[in-house]
Structure formats: C-alpha cells, structure tokens
Structure 1
Amino acid sequence: MKKLMLAMAAAIVVLDQVTKAYIVKNFMLHEGRPVIDGFFDITYVLNPGAAFGFLGTLNEAYRKLFFIAVTILAIACVTYLLVKEKEMKLRLFSYTLVLAGAVGNFIDRLFVGKVVDFLLFYYKHWQWPAFNVADIAISTGIGLLLLDYIFIKRSTNENNA
C-alpha cells in the first residue's frame, strides 16, 4: 500500500512540475488567458510567500531560508507520519497528498526562489489567490485529515465508549 502511495506522490509531483514548466515557458509573468470568461483564467504569477502570499513581504533572503527550512521540517514530519501509519488508509492518502504538494512547492522554492501559481478563479471584483497542483494536493490532504479527525476519530471513540 505504501509503495502505491509513494508512486501516487511521485505522479503528483511530476504533474505539478510539468504544469508549472508549461506555464513558465508559454506565458509571460502576470499574463492571463481566460478559460471560463468571468470565472477562471490561467494566469502566471510568482508567489514569494506561503498560502495567500503569507510572509510574502519578508526580506527575500530571510524568506527563502525560512520557507526552505520550514518545508524540510514539514516534509520530514509528514514522511514520519506516513511511515508510522499502519491502519488508516484515509490518513495514508492524506499524508501522501500533503507530502507530494510540499515537495512540489519545495522544488520551486529551491530553483525559482518563489512558487509558480497559475490557476485563478474570480467573480466580478472577488478573486481567489492563484494556486497550483501542489496547493490542490496540500489542501485536499489537510481537508481529508480534518474529516478523519472530526468524524472517524469521533465515531471510533463513541464505539469504544
């Protein structure tokens, strides 16, 4: 099972990096092309921070060092949890998604210094921050972990009581 999860993580990292490479090669920075007019564009942006640009204004040298260190720590922790997990397939899947996303964005931070984002959803004056395949994997993995924690752990505790 864990070999399958690692293969899936590798596939997500490859998909993430291939899509980012396509965007970098075929778009100018900040160029957007509508996919669904008035709702969804492919727009090439570089995110210097974390989710939603968090810490994006921090001094560049400190920011890069901070995010590389934090990402290495996160990858180590998630890898430990992935190896340690023996029973819960949902948790294995969740950890795999988070690990794949962290690795995908880590590659950008190492080689570009910022994360390549390109999926932009908006409506009129409202706009969701641009994101990428790695961000989708991380968000989905964390969402599944929350569901696991809230519902599965609660039902297990109630059954044991």
Structure 2
Amino acid sequence: MPKVTLRASGLATLWLAALIVVLDQVTKQWALETLSLGVPMPIVPYLNFTLAFNEGAAFSFLSDLGGAQRWLFLGLALVISVFLLVWLRKLPASWSCEILGLNLILGGAIGNVIDRALAGKVTDFIDFYIGTWHYATFNVADMAISIGVFCLILHEFWLKPKAETS
C-alpha cells in the first residue's frame, strides 16, 4: 500500500477548516464583547445580531439534560472530527465539492467544540427573522456546517464522477 503524505491527500486543504475555526471564534468573541444577552442589534431588515447561548444541539435540542449534554455533544463532535480527518486523508489533494464540504463541516465542528469545552455552551448571535417569526439564532460554525452538508449532498448526487458511483 503506497504511503499517503500530507501533500498528496485531502489533508493538504485543512487550512480552510482552520480558517473557519478562526473566523468563528473571532466573531463569537466580538459578539461576547459587543452584544448584550437577548438584546437585538439591527443590521438590515430581517437580520439582527442577538447574543444567545445554546447548551444543546441544533435548535437547542436536548438542552434540558442538566449539563450531561455538554459531554455528549463534545464527545460526538470529536468522534465526527476524527472521522472527517480520516475521510480527508483518503482523498486526493485536488479541490472538489466533497473536500470543500468536509473542511467546512470540520471547521464548524471544531469551532463549536471549543465553545462547548471552554464554556459548556455554544455562543450564537446571528438572528434572521420575518415579521415576528425568528429562525433559531446561529453562528459562523453553524453556517459552515450547513453549507458543508449541502456541498456533500451536491457532490454525492450530482457532481460525483461516474467511475466513483459504480
């Protein structure tokens, strides 16, 4: 079996995941220093920056477990991150929608892991709304994960070369 080096694998693209982590952490720090909990800062119509904390998963799922979810989600995110690194290692170092998606998901997962490990909760601040209806408040890591999943679906169902599907 040939030896896979960093440069010859998808791991060479990890700078993108690192960039997502930095962007996520910088924007969360800005939100913590600038915004007040629950007080909206209007940006444009339909968009506020509103500081919120999430102890659960997406849409505050399982946020009422009394702290146990911190370790559950931390462990799950770490396992997923290792899985994504192994997946990236098996891919060639050329850019694709698949590699883009994996890096976005990995960067987002690590960004939220940092929050969960240090504070036991994730900092959210991006608040989309229409009238009185508000979408769940989210952050840069959440956006990266969502776009990354979209990229993987796009790759799997529409962009994957025919040779890979047989």
**Common fold by TM > 0.5:** yes
**Cα distance, 1:79 vs. partner?**
0.8
Asked if 1:14 corresponds to 2:27, the answer is no
User: Which residue matches 1:45?
Assistant: 52
Q: Distance in 1 between matches of 2:11 and 2:149?
A: 21
User: Which residue matches 1:23?
Assistant: 31
Summarize the alignment of residues 7-156 of structure 1 with structure 2, pairs less than 5 Å apart.
7-37=15-45, 39-60=46-67, 62-86=68-92, 89-153=96-160, 156=162
> SS at the partner of 1:59?
coil
The share of aligned pairs that are identical, in percent, is 35
Q: Deviations over 1:50-97 (max 9, x none)?
A: 11111111221x111101110111111111111111267221111111
> SS at the partner of 1:58?
coil
Consecutive unaligned residues of structure 2, counting only runs of 5 or more, are: 1-6
**Cα distance, 1:125 vs. partner?**
2.3
Q: Distance in 2 between matches of 1:70 and 1:54?
A: 14
Query: Which residue identity is paired with 2:52?
Result: V
| 8 Å Cα contact 1:85/1:91 also seen in 2 | no
Query: Which residue identity is paired with 1:138?
Result: I
> SS at the partner of 1:49?
coil
Consecutive unaligned residues of structure 1, counting only runs of 5 or more, are: none
Q: CA RMSD in A?
A: 2.0
Structure with greater helix percent: 1
Query: Which residue identity is paired with 1:126?
Result: W
Q: Deviations over 1:39-58 (max 9, x none)?
A: 11000000111111111112
83-92 or 39-48, larger mean C-alpha shift: 83-92
Q: TM-score of the superposition, structure 2-length normalised?
A: 0.87
| 8 Å Cα contact 2:11/2:88 also seen in 1 | no
